[in-house]
Amino acid sequence: MKKNKTVVNRYARALLGLGLADGQYDLYGRELKELAGALASLGEEAKALASPSYPSGIRRKMLDLILSRANLSPLVTNFVKLLMDKGHMERLGEMAVAYNALADAEKGLLQARLTSASHLSEAEIEAVRTSLSRFSGRQVELTFDQDPGLIGGVVARLGDLVIDGSVRAQFGRLVANLDHLH
């Protein structure tokens, strides 16, 4: 798994370097994300692109057809063809995520996700965003969703860091402490 993560990061960094050099790194990130999302929505059909059980010539023709209709920049088109040639097509979604995280870091932007048990007002969401910005020292772009299963409280995710202030988590810690006493 570690090796796969290294490959993903190496390719993402290489493409970002090219994007920073030509000033198109935002465009490349959007294109990767959109292509990865489109392929993911195809499901099983898209898995054929990465499957060695299909002859490489057929897989390449399928990819060429998809790319001809995707209207991507030449650099991203060639990048995706390189992934096919090197046997890394199944990692396209991971590479899109890694690339965009690196691009955000380059801009000093941190993506965060806030989940709460109930609806939060815009002012409450903005207060959390401001706190997370102060905590991280970076500008935070916050997405919000609801999960009634949290019972109450909020969970904030900043990259790999999870700040869990939910009632469900507190209840879980209480149960674990009680189990530990017995």
- Asked if residue 30 and residue 67 are part of one domain, the reply reads yes
* pTM as predicted: 0.71
At 2, the pLDDT band (50, 70, 90 cuts) reads low
Which tens digit of pLDDT belongs to each residue from 61-108?
999 999 999 999 999 999 999 999 999 999 999 999 999 999 998 888
Same domain, 66 and 114: no
Where among 89, 105, 121 does a domain terminate? Answer: 105
For 20, 29, 122, the CA distances from 17, given in Å and listed in that order, are 5, 12, 36
Say if residue 63 is in the same domain as residue 117: no
Percentage of the chain with pLDDT > 70?
Answer: 97
Count CB-CB contacts under 10 A for residue 46.
20
Supply the mean pLDDT for the chain.
89
pLDDT exceeds cutoff 90 at 52: no
In the chain, how many domains are there?
A: 2
pLDDT bin (cut points 50, 70, 90) of residue 3 is low
Whether residues 12 and 88 share a domain: the answer is yes
Mark which of 49, 76, 105 sits at the end of a domain: 105
Alpha carbon distance 112, 159 (integer Å): 7
Boundaries of domain holding 37: 2-105
Residue 76 burial by Cβ neighbours in a 10 Å radius (0-12, 13-18, 19+): buried
Same domain, 116 and 85: no
pLDDT, residue 171, reads 77
147 and 85 in a single domain? The answer is no
The pLDDT value recorded for residue 102 is 92
The CATH number covering residue 120 comes to 3.40.30
